[in-house]
Structure 1
Amino acid sequence: MRIKAETSILLIIDIQERLFPVIDDCQALADHALWLQQVARRIGVPVLLTEQYSKGLGQTIPALRAGHEPAAIIEKLHFSAVSEGELFKRPGGERPQFVVCGSEAHVCVLQSVLDLLAAGRSVYVVAEAVGSRRVSDKALALTRMQQAGASIVSREMVAFEWLEQAGSELFREVSRAFIR
């Protein structure tokens, strides 16, 4: 099944100030998540952010948090973004397709993906836009998510599926700004 802009949402999980520096290759994670967020905004795909116990881990890093309305940011204590019941109530949360990125891949991302799948959603995990403190944990998480039914994708796969075709002004704008 292809990812459709009109039926999907981008979920950015727990890329937070105090956790961020200890994530393996954290700057690449942030860059890829920001790229996805900017493409989603340009195409009109809703974006939700989660924050795991922000009192302890801080808020989402400023580059990703900028411009988001409070309704698009979900504070949580459970590792899964689904557990507390807020995710599906937020703008865009009712959509059937979730494009997921964030950290940590083997904890909050994994548990959120498993719960999204159990709730009947189609889930697409952006491989270069998830991270963990240890590379081995990220690799195991990606394998487990795929075995559970999530599709493991790249950021460009997502962008091109959202765009669907070349030749439009939107394609030219996104291509010039994001695809090099």
Structure 2
Amino acid sequence: MLTIDQTILLVIDIQGNLAQAMDDRGSLFENARKIIQGIQTFDIPLIVTEQIPAKLGPTIPEIADLFQGMTPIAKESFSCFQNPGFRETLEKTGRRQVLMTGIETHICVYQTARDLLAAGYEVYIVADAVSSRTARNREIGLKMMGDAGGRLTCTEAVLFELLRTAASEKFKDIFRIVK
């Protein structure tokens, strides 16, 4: 079960022209924005990565405008976990539940999930907030992560699981985000 004090959100490589090439990118961008806004409502930390930003470009404005002042972690390895700066940033949070959104599902998201699971983290893949260039590759990536022990979830399920009750003071904020 996700908990506010153990969860962190990882936003993987939603950047440049690659983001524009994603299957069903409208839903990807919308759900990524919702999960980021919801996580921020709970004051849960997030980490953002960019794959070789000098070549692929920065995080797209639709996403980057949600975390102004935050510097994404640049990486070359497909798995975020293979980047020492990422590992150090994650370890400093002390959190063990990693929510994942980003691209591409069958490459960077999958390899990161696999490495996080091997290191003992609980991994939750926000399935409606990840994508690949093809729907089939997205499906395969989700299956590989599930087979490896990752937990598939969706934007609204995450936000309401963290909320726990409609009596919460944050209910109206979360409801506005998801409607």
Fold conserved between structures, TM > 0.5: yes
For the residues of structure 1 that align with 2:100 and 2:80, how far apart are their CA atoms?
Answer: 11
What's the counterpart of residue 10 of structure 2? Answer: 11
Secondary structure at 2:82 match in 1:
coil
What's the counterpart of residue 60 of structure 2? Answer: 61
For the residues of structure 2 that align with 1:105 and 1:76, how far apart are their CA atoms?
Answer: 17
Please show how residues 72-91 of structure 1 align to structure 2 within 5 Å: 73-90=72-89
Contact 1:87 1:93 in 2 (8 A): no
Two-structure CA RMSD over aligned residues (Å): 1.4
Aligned residues: 177
Q: CA deviation at 1:179?
A: 3.1
Q: CA deviation at 1:93?
A: 4.4
The runs of 5 or more residues in structure 2 that have no matched partner are none
For the residues of structure 1 that align with 2:172 and 2:34, how far apart are their CA atoms?
Answer: 16
Q: CA deviation at 1:63?
A: 2.0
Q: CA deviation at 1:174?
A: 1.8
* AA of the residue aligned to 2:29: A
Identity over aligned residues, as a percent?
A: 34
Secondary structure at 1:19 match in 2:
helix
For the residues of structure 2 that align with 1:68 and 1:50, how far apart are their CA atoms?
Answer: 14
What's the counterpart of residue 142 of structure 1? Answer: 142
Q: CA deviation at 1:70?
A: 3.7
The runs of 5 or more residues in structure 1 that have no matched partner are none
Secondary structure at 1:142 match in 2:
helix
* AA of the residue aligned to 1:140: I
Secondary structure at 1:75 match in 2:
strand
What's the counterpart of residue 133 of structure 1? Answer: 133
* Structure 1 position 32 matched with structure 2 position 31: yes
| Pair 30,159 (structure 1): closer, same or farther in 2 beyond 3 Å | same
